A = this chain, B = another copy of it.
């Protein structure tokens, strides 16, 4: 699997175009990914524009024991959330909104530091080097994450009379994530290359 870095980048670019073609790419994220691909030392392998999910399980962060029963890369409506709350077969329900996430492969440490700095400036505070085993993988992760318990057992913890306010809040947070992806794109496009003198 020792294919040249630029060759792998080319393949991932083609895959991104295919994903777009078949509708697998999140709507609105393409321009951000293009901005990454246009930089010499970067490419992306996976991405999410941000999403609102309803989770069923004791612990929303445990992938093995918790199921996503509803997912949308966009705004949701009150009726959807009410349906799950009122359905007694779903105990332990959570409503979660998360901002954008992008996995970036960097040619070297210089580019990794460059993109981490830009990401943090755009409000993606949790961005860091996720792995250095083969490639340098940077995870660009939005700080936007709100996870609200909807009900535990079959006891609703949310005020069901004010559910429209809760849904409006989650929708506005999702939109804030999309705006932060735009800020990130502008900085990725406009920032000068990392300085050669800071090479490691």
Contact = CB atoms under 8 A, between A and B. Distances in A.
Interface of A: 59-62, 109, 112-113, 125-126, 128-130, 132-133, 139, 143-149, 152, 155-160, 162, 165-166, 169, 173, 176, 200
A145 B145 contact: yes
A147 B149 contact: no
Contact of A162 (B61, B129, B157): B157
B165 A157 contact: yes
Contact of A128 (B61, B139, B146): B139
A132 B59 CA distance: 33
A113 to B, nearest CB: 7
Contact of A165 (B60, B145, B146, B152): B152
Nearest to A116: B131
A134 to B, nearest CB: 12
A128 B160 CA distance: 39
Nearest to A144: B61
A104 B101 CA distance: 24
B125 A61 contact: yes
Contacts of A113: 132-133
B158 A165 contact: no
A146 B162 CA distance: 20
